[in-house]
Amino acid sequence: MSPRLRWALFATVCVAQIAVPASMIVQHERTRASGTPWRFQTAPVDPDDPFRGRYVRLDFAVSRQPLFLVEREGRHVGLEDRLYAELIPDHRGFAALGKLHQQRPETGEYLDVFVRDIDYDREGGAPSYRVRLPFDRFYLPEARAPEVERAYAEASRHAQERTYAEVRIRDGHAALVSLVLDGKPVTD
């Protein structure tokens, strides 16, 4: 490999290495600035991830509801496959999930979700799916994480109407803005 080519390739690789984390930041900032705001009612859970710092693990009421594909599109859906869930507001102002799509919907609000559970209908009907939302953790300073974890467990059991995650969503991509426990926002 000639030195010039080697340097050119090295420069390209450096740009790519920086571009990946940088594009994550840009996508997040764009979603935060111009995404539609939604509130997701939480449900109780917790632990920690060796790759990153401490965080409070989040679960959501909508993740526990069985959802259905809008139509069979031929491809078999498996665990952790990415699907697109229609977003609709419920009567309390929280986000609810509608039908699931295998392709990005062309109209309406939707969210990227991941299959976490499949229930095959024994009588040959359509299987139902439960999904994991892409914002399933809230990072916090290490010293505060256990305390917030406890408050989260408490509030998501006993103050469900006032405990939720504020999220902005743009083209399926979600940016977690804040976590509200019993009406009080947790700052990171």
- For binding to another protein (CB under 8 A), which residues are involved? 6-7, 9-10, 13-14, 16-18, 20-22, 24-25, 28, 49, 51-55, 75-81, 114, 133-142, 145, 175-176, 188
Closest approach of another protein to the CB of residue 13, in Å: 4
Rounded least distance, CB 178 to another protein, Å: 9
| Distance of closest approach, residue 91 Cβ to another protein, in angstroms | 27
C-beta of 180: minimal distance to another protein in Å? 14
Asked if 107 and 101 count as a contact pair (C-beta separation under 8 A), the reply is no
Query: E strand or H helix at 5, and its extent?
Result: helix 3-34
User: What length does the chain have?
Assistant: 188
Nearer to another protein, 53 or 158 (CB): 53
Q: Is-contact 58 135, C-beta < 8 A?
A: yes
Other C-beta atoms lying within 10 Å of the C-beta of residue 127: 14
Phi/psi-derived region of residue 35, left when phi > 0, alpha when psi is between -120 and 50, beta in every other case: beta
Task: Tell the smallest beta-carbon distance from residue 157 to another protein (Å).
Answer: 23
CB of 50 or CB of 108, closer to another protein: 50
Nearer to another protein, 21 or 125 (CB): 21
How many CA atoms, within 13 angstroms, populate the side-chain half-sphere of residue 12?
6
How far apart (Å, rounded) are the C-alpha atoms in residues 165 and 61?
A: 11
Rank residues 24 and 88 by Cβ distance to another protein and give the closer one: 24
Return d(Cα 127, Cα 132) in angstroms, integer: 17
Q: Which is nearer to another protein, 7 or 92 (CB)?
A: 7
